[in-house]
Amino acid sequence: AQKITQTQPGMFVQEKEAVTLDCTYDTSDQSYGLFWYKQPSSGEMIFLIYQGSYDEQNATEGRYSLNFQKARKSANLVISASQLGDSAMYFCAMRPPNNAGNMLTFGGGTRLMVKP
Amino acid sequence: ETGVTQTPRHLVMGMTNKKSLKCEQHLGHNAMYWYKQSAKKPLELMFVYSLEERVENNSVPSRFSPECPNSSHLFLHLHTLQPEDSALYLCASSQGGRPSGANVLTFGAGSRLTVL
């Protein structure tokens, strides 16, 4: 079974600074997908970035980048130039290779608070 | 309407009531999901429908009854719930079949359920 661990329940970052949110995972599969989602107070889960286990380069999407270290089984999210609107819960998730649906296993989340 | 819409956004019900949560997606997806988000717990997958057939029932108590009449609509029928069922219920959709690449889940804003 897959397991996702996010060890930082809450973090503060100063506006305009970069921040790294940690995610480690446990799987025996060789092929898998890793996702990060943002959940603002409104409740909706917003997709941020995806990394495939065979992707050789780290994924980037605007101010978001994923620091993927396969041997360490870590997939940390880096947010550059933090903005006040980045204050939210952030969830790391994994998709195993063989399932009938696009089912994700989520970590417990990290609450990010951006200080002005 | 675009994306994934969930109604009602908030619901308060007694333990003997019967109510339903509704989810509608306008993305042309053919797989739909119910997730439960309780306080201080990771998101838990409840049900998955792919091409209108249930492909996953994650050991959910029978007091939760899903229904997927077509690929655009998903319901969660609730009856004789317990106070511990109070949570945010998130609906999501995606392309069905064997997932590949960044085949992401698109989530609705959730229905916050309180059971008295």
Residues A27-83 have pLDDT tens digits of: 888 888 999 999 999 889 999 999 999 988 999 999 999 999 999 999 999 999 999
**A29 min Cα distance to partner chain B (Å):** 15
- Identify the closest residue of chain A to B99 by CA–CA distance: A102
What is the rounded (10 degree) CA torsion for B57, A33, B32, B92? 110
The residue behind tokens 């029978």 is B62
Please tell me the predicted confidence (pLDDT) of residue B16: 86
Return the pLDDT at A22: 98
Pair of tokens at residue A107 = 């970590």
* Residue B44, φ and ψ in degrees, nearest 5: -115, 125
Q: Quick one: average pLDDT of B3-23?
A: 94
Residue A56 Ramachandran class (φ > 0 left, ψ -120 to 50 alpha, else beta): alpha
Q: How confident is the model at residue A9 (pLDDT cuts 50, 70, 90)?
A: very high
Q: Which residue has the tokens 């309180």?
A: B114
Give the pLDDT mean for B93-100: 71
Distance CA B29, CA A41 (A): 26
Nearest-neighbour CA in chain A from B38: distance (Å):
10
Q: Are strands A110-115 and A10-14 parallel, antiparallel or unpaired?
A: parallel
**What residues in chain B have their Cβ under 8 A from chain A's Cβ atoms?**
31, 33, 40-43, 45, 48-50, 55-56, 88, 90, 92, 94-96, 99, 101-110, 112
* Among candidates A44, A99, A106 on the partner chain, residue whose Cβ is nearest the Cβ of B108: A44
| More confident site: A40 or A99 | A40
- Whether the pLDDT of residue B26 is over 80: the answer is yes
Q: Please say whether the beta carbons of A66 and A49 come within 8 A.
A: yes
Q: Which residue of A has its CA nearest to B87?
A: A43
Can you give the pLDDT at residue B107?
94
DSSP A98: S
